[in-house]
A = this chain, B = another copy of it.
Amino acid sequence: MPTVLPDARVSPRFAGISTFCRYPRLQDVAPEHSPVDWAIYGVPFDGGVTYRGGTKFGPRAIRDASQYVKRYHMVHDVDVCSVLSLADAGDAPVSPFDIKGTLDLVTQFAAGLGTPTTRLFAVGGDHSIAYANVRAAWAKAGSPKGGLPLVHFDSHLDTVDTLWGEQYSHASPFARLIEEGFVDAGSMISVGIKGPLNSKSDLDFARARGVTLITHDRIATDAAGALAGFVARIGGRPAYVTFDIDVVDPAFAPGTGTPCPGGLSSEQALGLLRQLKGIRLAGADVVEVLPDRDPSGITAFLAAHVMFEILALDASARAG
């Protein structure tokens, strides 16, 4: 049991200082469980938003919501905490008025967590932070030439070149990651793109680079196959999963900054993640949870389960 959880006989799930899913703080992990397989950390940053902010409070809300996440995954038939050594590494440093500066701080922080075998899970924060975590994950994965394969769940492409003079906002992480070689556009799949766009040309960047787009209107027919095919196609290359909570319909995730109606249900989202069974993970993130728009807490709660679902993919692959 490499991940030791609090004893619920004395400390129920509503008790204690909140860490992600009640996993130990990184500094509290016993030597025999080190190095950890995953370092999960928050990035309390919303300086990259283009509309509604507040996602800097995402890590705190997701820590609290995640207290109820248990350890055994029924569909994959795997006890995540038995297979993986998991830890909460706290929050990355941020420089609130400096997007690129923050992203560099985060990359540096993440790169320093654990050992090269430690995988990185970033909890946002706005989607700009994916840039930072992908870079660190890429380095841990051995700096693969051509970049990491990437699975991208989102209503938006996030491939805008520049917005209000800024190249690193949450509208642009995948433009930068592709341009700078951290992501392999030909092995990138974007699932759930939907909603009104500013212009038809918004799709140009991704299409020109060979990103596979599964727009929402094709989800029912194409997504499951595309994801399973993606895993087969990349073979054993370590890949990254980035999950923007706004890929889910506002009914399921009201607490986000740029929601888009007509999205996935939670059931669909979790089901699509399960299609990635067998994937070898290089890192992951879940982003864009905005607690101030989440009066019932269902968005942060879903995000916590998305995190578990991704960890379960890794546990399943390792156990399997």
Contacts and interface: CB of A to CB of B under 8 A. Distances in A.
Interface of A: 8-19, 25, 42, 44, 46-47, 50-54, 56-57, 59-60, 63-64, 68-75, 77, 79, 88, 90-91, 93-99, 105, 163-166, 169, 193-200, 202-203, 215-217, 249-252, 254-255, 258-259, 261-263, 265-267, 269-271, 292-298, 301-302, 305, 308
B60 A64 contact: yes
Contacts of A72: 196-200, 202
A161 B252 CA distance: 33
Contacts of A255: 296
A50 to B, nearest CB: 7
A293 B296 contact: yes
A163 to B, nearest CB: 8
Contact of A74 (B68, B93, B95, B215): B215
Contacts of A10: 93-94, 105
A94 to B, nearest CB: 6
Contact of A17 (B25, B47, B93, B261): B25
A53 B53 contact: yes
In terms of DSSP, what is the predominant structure of the interface of chain A?
Answer: loop
Number of copies: 6
A90 B197 contact: no
B305 A73 contact: no
A308 B196 contact: yes
Given A251-B298, A293-B296, 16 more contacts: A8-B198, A14-B44, A15-B44, A17-B18, A17-B63, A18-B18, A52-B292, A64-B64, A74-B215, A75-B215, A95-B164, A97-B163, A97-B164, A217-B271, A249-B265, A292-B293
Given A91-B16, A292-B292, A70 B262 contact: no
B261 A249 contact: no
Given A12-B44, A97-B164, A249 B266 contact: yes
A258 B74 CA distance: 17
Contacts of A60: 14, 18, 64
Contact of A266 (B16, B59, B258, B263): B263
A93 B295 contact: no
A302 B249 CA distance: 10
A217 B164 contact: no
Contact of A19 (B17, B166, B194): B17
A197 B312 CA distance: 12
B250 A302 contact: yes
Going nearest first, the 9 A-B pairs with the smallest beta carbon separation are A254-B296, A70-B196, A10-B93, A292-B292, A250-B298, A53-B53, A72-B197, A97-B166, A15-B44
B194 A54 contact: no
Contacts of A79: 199-200
Contact of A98 (B11, B73, B164): B164
Given A17-B88, A164-B98, A262 B266 contact: yes
B308 A94 contact: no
A46 B53 contact: yes
